[in-house]
Amino acid sequence: MKEVFQVLPEKIRKIILKLPEKTINEIEEIRLRVNRPVEVRTHTATFVVPNSATPFIFIESDSALMLSLLSQHSVYRLEEELKRGYITISGGHRVGLAGRVVMEKGEVKGIRDISSFNIRVARQKYGVAKSYLTQLQQRGNWCHTLIIGPPKSGKTTLLRDIAREISKGVGSLKVEAKNVGIIDERSEIAGSVKGIPQHDFGVKVDILDSCPKAEGLMMMIRSMSPEVLVVDEIGRKEDGDAIMEAVHAGVTIFASVHGDCLEDVKARPTIASLIELGFFQRAIELNVHSKRGIVKKLDLKKRVSGVIRT
């Protein structure tokens, strides 16, 4: 949270620091909109600070100061970030931006006159992957795994923890540490700042930050010889093709996808064909309320001939 406080203007920081410590530790989002009260969200409640009777109103000059603090007084360095609409700050936290969009040649060039900030606090949860690991490996090899869950069910958190465990190696299961490649299109898994991951991943992790998934998968295979590839939120046709390609290249895939359950994602042609062709050996279904998951073994016999298994 320290990093988050550093980008908040002093007035707001003071107000938020006055909240009980337990609440501070549970903060998931801080929303700041010009001429509107500041809103804080934990995963159980949303409230206005300091209280709803006399809320603190975030004004234009606060917004300018906030942008200054976010960019170290150097908005000129945020070209890419303003195009994507969010800034990743150290600690892996993300600040979403909205305001007046500037276009150039029919493309979004950036956001000017920023009117809304949404600070999303990133929290690492160590050990969420522990209970799954036994079922995700087979005789010392990791299985191709698909993580299925609706938004906010903890897919990315789980994926991050799995990546960490793989790169460290799991002694109790006699699985060696493997080289892990992460294709982090939306800078969510690793929360990289200038290419350097802000989350702890052990030693053997390489990250392609804000790289399109399909290209990233191929780039990684060509350049970094990974043993395991981790990719978030697959869905487009190119992603599917790239995953097939990667599996053929002998790389283990860990991917996540939006959806309620296995049946649900089978309605999507790309994912369905990947599952039908037997590219995935395990699926984890995550439940949004309990944040617990069920591991399903996908039928290996369905694998089409011609797919080389090692």
Q: With beta carbons less than 8 A apart as the criterion, state whether 79 and 54 touch.
A: no
Nearest distance in Å: CB 223, other proteins: 25
Closer Cβ to other proteins, 12 or 38, answer by number: 12
Q: How far apart, in Å, are the Cα atoms of 283 and each of 85, 173, 295?
A: 32, 20, 6
Residue 215 has which token pair? 């290209």
Q: Among 66-74, 85-93, 228-236, 259-267, which window interacts with other proteins (CB under 8 A)? A: 66-74
Nearest distance in Å: CB 5, other proteins: 11
Q: Could you write out the DSSP letters of every residue in 231-264?
A: E----SHHHHHHHHHHHHTT-EEEEEEE-SSHHH
Nearest distance in Å: CB 121, other proteins: 21
Q: Among 72-80, 87-95, 116-124, 262-270, which window interacts with other proteins (CB under 8 A)? A: 72-80
Q: With beta carbons less than 8 A apart as the criterion, state whether 182 and 207 touch.
A: yes
Nearest distance in Å: CB 7, other proteins: 11
Nearest to 119 by CA among 28, 232, 211: 28
Among 37, 92, 110, 278, binds other proteins (CB under 8 A): 110
Give residues 111-140 in contact with other proteins (rule: CB under 8 A).
Answer: 112
Please give the size of the binding site for other proteins, defined by CB under 8 A: 21
Q: Could you tell me how many residues make up the chain?
A: 310
Among 57, 60, 79, 174, binds other proteins (CB under 8 A): 79
Closer Cβ to other proteins, 61 or 225, answer by number: 61
Residue 10 contacts other proteins per CB under 8 A: yes
Reduced to 3 states (helix: H, G, I; strand: E, B; else coil), residue 5 is helix
Residue 101 contacts other proteins per CB under 8 A: no
Calpha distance 221→189 (Å, rounded): 19
Residue type for position 109 = K
Q: With beta carbons less than 8 A apart as the criterion, state whether 205 and 197 touch.
A: yes
Distance in angstroms between the alpha carbons of the first and the last residue of the chain: 44
Residue 78 contacts other proteins per CB under 8 A: yes
Residue 9 contacts other proteins per CB under 8 A: yes
Among 44, 74, 172, 305, binds other proteins (CB under 8 A): 74
* Cβ-Cβ contacts under 8 Å for 22 (sequence gap 6 or more): none
Q: Counting beta carbons within 10 angstroms of the beta carbon of residue 202, is it exposed (0 to 12), middle (13 to 18) or buried (19 or more)?
A: middle
Calpha distance 198→146 (Å, rounded): 24
Nearest distance in Å: CB 29, other proteins: 23
Nearest distance in Å: CB 176, other proteins: 40
What is the residue whose two structure tokens read 């004004």?
A: 59
Residue 73 contacts other proteins per CB under 8 A: yes
Nearest distance in Å: CB 120, other proteins: 23
Q: Among 17-25, 74-82, 222-230, 275-283, which window interacts with other proteins (CB under 8 A)? A: 74-82
Residue 174 contacts other proteins per CB under 8 A: no
Closer Cβ to other proteins, 21 or 107, answer by number: 107
Residue 209 has which token pair? 């930050």
Q: Among 64-72, 127-135, 203-211, 249-257, which window interacts with other proteins (CB under 8 A)? A: 64-72
Residues that bind other proteins (CB under 8 A): 9-10, 61, 64-65, 67-69, 71-79, 82, 109-110, 112
